Amino acid sequence: MKSVGHIPFDTCQPYIACSADSKEGFCGDVDTTCSSFNTCRTCGSFSQYVDCVEITPFPNATIAEYGVVPRYDVDAIKAEIYARGPVSAGINAEPIVNYKGGIVRDTKFWHKMVNHIVSIVGWGKDSESGDEYWIIRNSWGQYWGEMGYVRVVTGHNALGIESEVAWATPGHFTVTNYPCNEDGSDCRYEQGTHFYVDPSKDVKTVNERLAAQSGNKDVAIHPYLRTA
């Protein structure tokens, strides 16, 4: 997103889990080249004579900054999520293909080799065992796991979850479009954009939020966020 400049919202091009090197299912028969047609397109719904056409310009979002969280630093990962929301994380997905629920405590060394990407959206603590866990959103659908989520124990780099964590902050994004016709004709530039305000830049407000939620007025934000 940063290098290209912007990307469309997901209604332009539904996620199909295919890329140029994918051979599974129908992926080998799908054109996944980087083109305007494969970036944002529409197909006429009510006439067999209306072809699928590219949409340009289109409502879009940009990235202001991006980076990585220090490896294995649980507190830094929490600080990033607390201040700015979910992070991207690598995970070894093979042990959770048939995951049905509960906290994953798999810390086998050979299961820490990352081969999939997920989002860590938060964390919690199990009332029975006392184990703390990451709340992780996967991309395999709500029929999988706990409505599309999996919980993984924190602090042990289980499944490699704490080894490759990245963050990004939005730049500007479309909030008001110039409406196109259903067949993609008469599109013009967007009418309105919104600029993201990075909440981590306001350390005082984040500290006040921490103090109010923890009941400890002396609590302070993790030092990582001061340099992120």
> Do the bridges between strand 60-69 and strand 87-91 make them parallel or antiparallel, or are there none, so unpaired?
unpaired
Same domain, residue pair 11 and 44? yes
| Residue 216 domain flag | no
Q: What DSSP assignment string belongs to the chain? A: -TTTS-EE-TTSS---S--TT--STTGGGS----SSTTTSEE--SS-TT---EE--S--EEEEEEEEEEPTT-HHHHHHHHHHH--EEEEE--GGGTT--SSEE----GGG-S--EEEEEEEEEE-TTT--EEEEEE-SS-TTSTBTTEEEEESSS-GGGTTTSEEEEEEEEEEEE--PPPTTS-S----SEEEE---GGG-HHHHHHHHHHHHS-TT----THHHH-
Residues of the chain with pLDDT under 50: none
Instruction: Report pLDDT for 48.
Output: 62
Report if pTM > 0.75.
Answer: yes
| Residue 127 domain flag | yes
What's the sign of the alpha-carbon dihedral 175, 81, 117, 136?
A: negative
Closest CA to 153 of 130, 128, 171, 176: 130
| Residue 72 domain flag | yes
According to DSSP, the residues that pair with 169 across neighbouring strands are 65
| Residue 224 domain flag | no
Same domain, residue pair 73 and 58? no
Number of domains in the chain: 2
| Residue 215 domain flag | no
78 with 222: CB under 8 angstroms? yes
First CA to last CA distance, the chain:
19
Instruction: Report pLDDT for 219.
Output: 66
Instruction: Report pLDDT for 50.
Output: 65
Instruction: Report pLDDT for 214.
Output: 74
Same domain, residue pair 29 and 73? no
Same domain, residue pair 112 and 161? yes
Instruction: Report pLDDT for 153.
Output: 98
Query: What is the spatial distance between Cα 80 and Cα 69, in angstroms, rounded to a whole number?
Result: 8
| Residue 211 domain flag | no
Instruction: Report pLDDT for 78.
Output: 95
Same domain, residue pair 83 and 133? yes
The owner of tokens 């890329």 is 19
Can you give the CATH number for the domain in which 143 is found?
A: 3.90.70.10
Query: What is the spatial distance between Cα 6 and Cα 170, in angstroms, rounded to a whole number?
Result: 10
Same domain, residue pair 36 and 3? yes
| Residue 202 domain flag | no
Instruction: Report pLDDT for 107.
Output: 94
| Residue 156 domain flag | yes
Residue 80 structural domain: 64-166
Instruction: Report pLDDT for 27.
Output: 93
Same domain, residue pair 137 and 81? yes
Same domain, residue pair 129 and 176? no
Same domain, residue pair 140 and 155? yes
